[in-house]
């Protein structure tokens, strides 16, 4: 393997290992060697051609642990140290950025989506996008970003110990939401169509209630009073629309997943419940810090969450297989 081999999606369904020139860091940037890259649902969508507004070819990878090779002398970045990566490259000047919300920058460029990411031997990125690892292992560093999305959603929804929480979708993002809702003291119920995912949820989120989606009825009177906060983490339009029925009067509905196109709901029910509808996108620095603290405190174990592992070369065959069947998979990691 060359000094800068990269895993490239040439076109949907076409994944190759390609030799690339070693990038040169511009002013304010660092040169890093990625050590680990988590494989995200977005990566599977990119491989499958289901990610909107994406151009090919693309190097994926935004759940990263990196080792610093070069850094600006005044950046405070330590050469040779391992860092977590915040993959949301923001402009810093738009209204959202000026108000402290770079996670929804109007010109955001997410590594591995809008620009080439970290499934490669060498990568440059802004120094400000490195997050100190505080002693986490490379595996743990690669878990921080996707868990931060869950932590951010829980913080956006202001979950507290008095809340009954429902999380719809027991994929990695939904599991992260459920874990941080539980850490906030809430009573958590998870629903999913896949029993194996629910079995895993019981292991990863102690005390949670895990229920098959077929056993839940959003139109029942009990459901309408059951949950103070509902999160959707499915990426499914029908599921999102059904979720409105689970929200109790005075409750909050937080959409973590994204679908292409419109969603609809009954306005009279929305107002009758005085429901709060919340969008949650990406994560912010406090969310990364919260996740790092939770891992250090032993609330989240990489040994339990990382179920599959491969190499950069091995991913050429493994990623397409996992894209077809993720029923037994929580988080897959590429060792780079």
DSSP 146-172: HHHHHHHHHHHTT--TT-EEEEE--SH
**230 neighbors 251 (Cβ within 8 angstroms):** yes
**258 neighbors 235 (Cβ within 8 angstroms):** yes
Q: What angle do CA 194, 263, 209 make, to 5 degrees?
A: 30
Burial string for 81-93 (b: 16+ CB within 10 Å, else e) reads ebbbbbbbbbeee
Shared domain for 84 and 162, answered yes or no, is: no
Residues making up the chain, counted from first to last? 336
CA-nearest of 163, 86, 178, 167 to 130 is 86
Query: What does pTM read for this prediction?
Result: 0.95
User: Quick one: pLDDT at residue 222?
Assistant: 65
User: Residue 174 is part of a domain; what is its CATH number?
Assistant: 3.40.50.720
Question: What does the alpha-carbon distance between residue 226 and residue 228 come to, in Å, rounded to a whole number?
Answer: 7
153 in a structural domain: no
User: Quick one: pLDDT at residue 327?
Assistant: 79
**4 neighbors 120 (Cβ within 8 angstroms):** yes
User: Quick one: pLDDT at residue 266?
Assistant: 95
Question: What does the alpha-carbon distance between residue 221 and residue 238 come to, in Å, rounded to a whole number?
Answer: 20
- Looking at 264, 279, 294, the residue that finishes a domain is 279
Shared domain for 240 and 260, answered yes or no, is: yes
Shared domain for 13 and 141, answered yes or no, is: yes
Shared domain for 219 and 119, answered yes or no, is: no
Q: Which domain holds residue 215?
A: 158-279
Question: What does the alpha-carbon distance between residue 189 and residue 214 come to, in Å, rounded to a whole number?
Answer: 14
69 in a structural domain: yes
Shared domain for 239 and 302, answered yes or no, is: no
188 in a structural domain: yes
How many domains is the chain partitioned into structurally?
2
152 in a structural domain: no
List of residues 6+ apart from 99 with CB closer than 8 A: none
User: Quick one: pLDDT at residue 326?
Assistant: 85
Shared domain for 135 and 16, answered yes or no, is: yes
Burial string for 270-300 (b: 16+ CB within 10 Å, else e) reads eeebebeebebbbbbeebbbbbbebbeeeeb
Shared domain for 141 and 288, answered yes or no, is: yes
Where the chain has pLDDT below 50, the residues are: none
Shared domain for 182 and 128, answered yes or no, is: no
Shared domain for 259 and 181, answered yes or no, is: yes
Question: What does the alpha-carbon distance between residue 55 and residue 198 come to, in Å, rounded to a whole number?
Answer: 35
Shared domain for 10 and 126, answered yes or no, is: yes
151 in a structural domain: no
Shared domain for 21 and 126, answered yes or no, is: yes
Crossing angle of helices 285-296 and 138-156, in 10° steps, is 120
Strand runs labelled E in the chain: 5-11, 14-19, 29-39, 58-59, 63-70, 82-85, 88-89, 109-110, 123-126, 130-132, 164-168, 187-192, 209-212, 227-232, 247-255, 276-279, 306-311, 331-335
Output the CA torsion 132→309→146→45 (10° steps): 130
User: Residue 85 is part of a domain; what is its CATH number?
Assistant: 3.90.180.10
329 in a structural domain: yes
**179 neighbors 204 (Cβ within 8 angstroms):** yes
- Looking at 234, 260, 279, the residue that finishes a domain is 279
Shared domain for 93 and 138, answered yes or no, is: yes
CA-nearest of 36, 87, 20, 122 to 310 is 36
- Looking at 231, 264, 279, the residue that finishes a domain is 279
List of residues 6+ apart from 314 with CB closer than 8 A: none
């Amino acid at each position: 393997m060359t000094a800068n081999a990269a895993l490239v999606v040439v076109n949907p369904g076409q994944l190759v290992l390609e030799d690339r020139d070693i990038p040169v860091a511009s002013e304010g940037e660092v040169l890093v060697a990625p050590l680990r890259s988590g494989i995200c649902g977005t990566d599977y969508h990119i491989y499958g051609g289901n990610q909107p507004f994406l151009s090919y070819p693309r190097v994926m990878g935004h759940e990263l642990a990196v080792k610093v090779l070069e850094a600006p002398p005044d950046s405070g970045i330590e050469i040779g140290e391992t860092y977590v990566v915040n993959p949301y490259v923001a402009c810093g000047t738009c209204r959202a950025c000026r108000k402290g919300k770079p996670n929804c920058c109007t010109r955001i460029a997410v590594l591995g989506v809008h620009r080439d990411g970290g499934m490669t031997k060498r990568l440059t990125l802004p120094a400000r996008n490195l997050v100190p690892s505080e002693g986490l292992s490379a595996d743990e560093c690669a878990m921080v970003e996707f868990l931060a999305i869950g932590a951010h959603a829980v913080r956006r929804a202001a979950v507290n110990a008095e809340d009954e929480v429902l999380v719809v979708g027991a994929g990695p993002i939904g599991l992260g939401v459920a874990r941080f809702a539980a850490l906030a003291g809430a009573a958590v119920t998870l629903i999913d169509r896949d029993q194996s995912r629910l079995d895993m949820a019981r292991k990863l989120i102690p005390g949670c209630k895990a229920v098959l989606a077929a056993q839940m009825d959003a139109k029942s009177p009990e459901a309408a009073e059951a949950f103070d906060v509902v999160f959707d983490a499915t990426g499914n339009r029908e599921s999102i629309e059904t979720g409105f029925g689970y929200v109790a009067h005075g409750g909050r509905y937080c959409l973590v997943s994204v679908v292409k196109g419109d969603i609809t709901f009954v306005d009279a029910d929305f107002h009758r419940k005085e429901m709060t509808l919340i969008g949650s996108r990406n994560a912010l620095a406090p969310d990364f810090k919260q996740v790092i603290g939770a891992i250090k405190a032993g609330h989240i174990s990489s040994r339990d969450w990382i179920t599959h592992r491969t190499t950069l070369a091995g991913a050429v065959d493994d990623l397409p297989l996992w894209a077809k069947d993720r029923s037994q998979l929580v988080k897959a990691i590429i060792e780079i």
